[in-house]
Amino acid sequence: MDWHKIQNQQIDHALEQSEMVFNSESVITRLWGFSDQLIQQKHLVNILSLYKKNDNFRLLDLGCGIGTLLNQLARFFPEAEFVGIDSNENSIKQANLHITNNCRFICSQFNQNEELGKFDVVICSEVFEHVEDTGQLLYEITRLVREGGYLVTANLNRPKADGIA
């Protein structure tokens, strides 16, 4: 079985288990599930510190999952453009269920989006541990963020080094 298929199966399983996590008897399990929401709130605060309500900017969420962060941001910034990319088809299907006018979601590998152009902000949160070639991911991020733009990352798990010290 190829590496990407295994990652997709793990993400599908996590999506199925999310309800169980928040209803768990275990405090540790519930807190672990809530950590994702805390990270999203941190990203929201970061973007709110950079832009005012009616600013026009482009933001890419690489590894957007079910689109929760982008849909939150889109409500705050009606003039901005938000694009979410995730390689998991079920995540993108869920993201499209709650889509707002200035968001779009694409089911794709991170390195297959030549036509998207440059972004003012690229968010890459909780993605490195799901990517086989982290060096290629870093290259793609630098290709997608415009000069003078912002890169926002977060990672709870330690990413593989791929030869990077």
CATH code for the domain in which residue 80 is found: 3.40.50.150
Convert 38-56 to b/e letters by CB count within 10 Å (16 or more is b): ebbeebeeebeeebeeeee
And the tokens for 50?
A: 């950079």
Q: Does residue 125 form part of some domain?
A: yes
In the predicted structure, residue 63 carries a pLDDT above the cut 80: yes
* Proportion of the chain above pLDDT 90, given as a percent: 21
Q: Does residue 96 form part of some domain?
A: yes
In the predicted structure, residue 58 carries a pLDDT above the cut 90: yes
Task: Quickly state the pLDDT bin for 101 (edges 50, 70, 90).
Answer: confident
pLDDT of residue 22: 62
Q: Does residue 87 form part of some domain?
A: yes
pLDDT of residue 78: 92
Task: Quickly state the pLDDT bin for 81 (edges 50, 70, 90).
Answer: very high
| Chain centre distance of CA 37 | 12
Q: Domain range holding 150?
A: 40-154
Residues 6+ apart with CB under 8 A from 114: none
* Proportion of the chain above pLDDT 70, given as a percent: 61
Q: Does residue 165 form part of some domain?
A: no
Q: Does residue 160 form part of some domain?
A: no
Single out the residue of 97, 29, 22 nearest to residue 65, CA to CA.
97
Q: Count Cβ atoms below 10 Å from residue 87 Cβ, excluding itself.
A: 20
Q: Does residue 118 form part of some domain?
A: yes
Q: Does residue 74 form part of some domain?
A: yes
Q: Does residue 27 form part of some domain?
A: no
111-164 confidence digits (pLDDT tens): 666 688 999 999 887 766 677 777 887 888 888 999 999 987 766 554 444 444
In the predicted structure, residue 60 carries a pLDDT above the cut 80: yes
pTM above the 0.85 mark? no
As for how many domains the chain has, the answer is: 1
